[in-house]
Structure 1
Amino acid sequence: MRRYTVKDWLQVHALERDTVLSVLDAIRLGEPSREGEYSKALEIDADLAWQLCAKAVLSAMPVLEADIVRIRDHASRRFGDASAPITSSFTLDNGAERLPHLECPYSGTAGGLLILAHEFAHAVQIVASDGKFIPPMTREVCAFLGELMLIEHVRTGLPSYAEALLAAWRADTATYLGEDADALLSDLIRPNAAYTYRWNYPVARWIAGCIWGADDKELVLRVFTGRVDAPELIGTFCKKLSVDPINPLPPFPLSASGQMDAAQIYRQIGAVALLDLEDWQNKAQTSIQEYYAFLLDAMREGHMFIKLDDAQRPAGYVTWDYGVHEGVALTHECAPFGDEGVLHDALVDHFSKATRADSFRSAQAAGQPA
């Protein structure tokens, strides 16, 4: 059985890694509060909850009434009980000839009602998209929109439940934009990281919130019927996102002694290799022997400068050589996170400090004041 990876996940959604990194950078700036009555019991049994979810989606998308009513009245579903418990929720696509099957461990709580709305929206998307392949992230956008439809419907029809549902939404959002976003960010720097379904949640949650906030009913319909893809959805709402991708690399540990010991040399080699893999230019494509020789030569000659950002993460590096007439000539530069100008400024400052240090040492050797 094939093992799917980050590369596969990006490809199936037609997304560039840097685009996803930019979204994660934006949505992780502020995490929602986890406070609230997530487990508050509601006086709604499973059948009534099912009807309520149908009403909410029908109110938001009346043009899909025929599909919604078919699902409400004829789709098979199982909510579980003490004799036959259900541990997870899912919606099974049975193909174009049959309605989806839903399973949901409905608990009678605010969180449980949101889960049911989530699965009901999955079923509507399956039927409304009429057999089109919908990538998982877009499917989750639909499901999250279904939750928002329920919250909006309850706000106007059953206001006494609105606070508990909003608390449940915020608690889930804290997980999607917190732990799930962190996990996705960590895996994105490893092209062969094994696929996990939770990668789909952070960006989908953000997109669903953006669509709902824009009150774009036509776009909602296009998402459910499979007439819009992830790049278009992100492009619609990413105008305020950072143009440059964030730096996912770990902080660079500095030597306690300040000296260039063997461990520090290997750390520098590792940092440079990670930067080249991020940049994915010529240096990341060379043979190991050639690449190692290039690094070792630059470090031996002192012709390498690694720029660290404010968090002490490697942000870029430059190597150079000295020509006979033209002075310093850069032989390679790598700034994968869009900081070319900052890298150049830091290099100039590095040369300036090195020149002052050389002058000081020369003056000391000559017995003159520096």
Structure 2
Amino acid sequence: MLYVVLFFLAFSLLLYVLLAGADFGAGIIEQFSSKHNRTLTKKTIYRVIGPVWEANHIWIIIVIVILWVGFPGFYNILMVYLHIPLTLILLGITLRGVAFVFRHYDAYKDKTQLLYDWMFRVSSVVTPIFLGVTFGGLISGDIEITANLENTNFYSAYIASWFNLFSLFVGFFFAGICAFLASIMLIGEANKTERRLYVKKARIATITVIILGFLVLAVGFVQEKVFVLSFFKNPYAIGLIVFSALLILPLLNSIKNERRIITRALAGLQVILILLAAFVTHFPDIIITTNGSVNILETVATNQVIKVLGIALIIGGAIILPGLFHLMKSFKMIKILE
């Protein structure tokens, strides 16, 4: 049953990156557009994401619940030592949701719309950065676990692990992936005129992700981060990244020719390969601290708890997944199946 729980954990995290990542990325695309293009993008975002945007965050809720119930030791480290970026993520998601609703459903259209637009765009940029920063903090090797927190320096305990060059670059890299996913998605949702804009954005986002990925590895290598050094020693991780790199040329070609289905498939596959590379690099030692690594399997709950959790996930998945599929299909979010 432990493997069932791990599967749902990985599957939910993957869907959150792909779906919520594209959701956040739409706001990033809007932020880095001209005033005229922002108006076009705003209308497209509402038409495409409006019906399903709330459903995207169900996956991060499932991830948190699984960690909380099934891996309490891991959850404790995450929530104690990285509570600052996690709080900022929660604040960003909340502000973004509020802005998304009010800028479309507010009964009065006045200058407050400018505030809602600003809130939406800024939170769309900041939130994925802090999501990436949180992961960077987990693997930075700077978490200082201690049983005597009250006598520990606040900066060392709660800030140093995530507020560093390596973690920040991981945050920018994840934001770049979100923009990449969104630009690919918007290509297939726009008319012919707007499509040229998103083709251009997709090319820029692809190049940006490549550059940021290189910087993450370069900074990690120079700073001798254990995670990055393990990556270079892991043939499977390197192979996955090489495979992802080989897909860049066909992806750019499909973007140029505006092949919507192939472009989405290639983009999704690339992100999956990147996540798999990160997964196999140091699994099951997900958390890297100043005193060594923390094996997530050593923080697992009792067998009885895992059994109940696994059964609940199977039943919940049987109910949620068909409903979500139908929702996305109804609003033509799954064009690849048409």
Structure with more of its chain in helix, by fraction: 2
Structure with more of its chain in strand, by fraction: 1
- TM-score using structure 1 length: 0.24
Higher relative contact order, chain-length normalized (CA < 8 Å, sep 6+): 2
Larger radius of gyration, structure 1 or 2? 1
- TM-score using structure 2 length: 0.26
